[in-house]
């Protein structure tokens, strides 16, 4: 049966014929997807990488198959084997495709500063432009803002304790969402650079900075006090 026929007849039983076939699995993720508009749901399924969960555990532990899946969409990392969730190259490819893939990486790699900053940078890029987070835009889009808060807290909850206290990660975090400042340790709330970065996103960050910084002339001038 051809791949096109597999795709046009997509259903869970469809995977029974190819769940152990490495070449078919790679073809599945590298295919551009259905060409017809009525096949949009199938196309999104493939692009999302969720098909990986239907392949055998053997293929979900295969470097070539998993790399094809995560390059298609990093979210596929969720269904990779524990060994590959701890593989630096696989995780790097996943977060390059989708920054949120970092939450599916191994605990060891969630503590890798380079990967974490890359993941946050990928998420920030995917969210631009973000007028709802702008300091000068007072017509606040609450639904978009709430989504940003949820996403930021979701990602940072998975990071190691050491990285949660890292200044570079804190700066990236408040750039992604100013409200993350509320979750930072006291030393980061008392860091002028972090405070200024958060205030650039939204002046409401004033509520979370330290009392010492609330007296800082530069910070007060920034928000018009």
pLDDT tens-digit profile of 46-64? Answer: 545 668 888 899 999 999 9
Provide the total of helices (H) and of strands (E) in the chain, helices listed first.
Answer: 13, 0
Average pLDDT over residues 88-92: 97
pLDDT tens profile 111-143: 899 999 998 888 877 765 444 444 334 344 445
d(CA 11, CA 13): 6
Give pLDDT tens digits for 30-42. Answer: 876 544 344 444 4
pTM of the model: 0.71
pLDDT at 184: 87
Looking at 88-102, 138-152, 164-178, 207-221, which range is the least confident one?
138-152
Start-to-end CA span in the chain (Å)? 71
Which pLDDT score, from 0 to 100, does residue 89 have? 97
| Number of Cβ atoms within 10 Å of the Cβ of 224 | 6
């Amino acid at each position: 049966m051809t791949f096109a026929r597999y795709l046009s007849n997509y259903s869970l039983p469809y995977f029974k014929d190819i769940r152990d076939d490495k070449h078919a699995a790679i073809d599945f993720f590298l295919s551009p997807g259905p060409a017809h508009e009525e096949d949009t749901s199938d196309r999104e399924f493939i692009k999302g990488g969720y098909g990986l969960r239907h392949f055998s555990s053997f293929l979900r532990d295969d470097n070539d198959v998993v790399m094809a899946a995560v390059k298609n969409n990093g979210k596929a990392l969720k269904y990779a084997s524990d060994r590959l969730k701890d593989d630096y190259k696989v995780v790097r490819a996943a977060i390059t495709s989708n920054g949120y893939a970092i939450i599916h990486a191994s605990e060891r790699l969630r503590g890798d500063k380079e990967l974490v900053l890359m993941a946050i940078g990928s998420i920030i890029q995917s969210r631009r432009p973000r007028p709802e987070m702008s300091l000068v835009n007072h017509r606040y889009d609450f639904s978009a803002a709430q989504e940003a808060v949820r996403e930021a807290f979701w990602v940072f909850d998975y990071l190691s304790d050491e990285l949660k206290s890292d200044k570079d990660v804190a700066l990236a975090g408040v750039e992604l969402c100013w409200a993350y400042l509320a979750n930072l340790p006291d030393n980061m709330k008392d860091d002028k650079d972090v405070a200024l970065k958060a205030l650039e996103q939204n002046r409401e960050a004033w509520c979370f900075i330290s009392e010492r910084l609330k007296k800082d002339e530069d910070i007060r001038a920034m928000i018009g006090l």
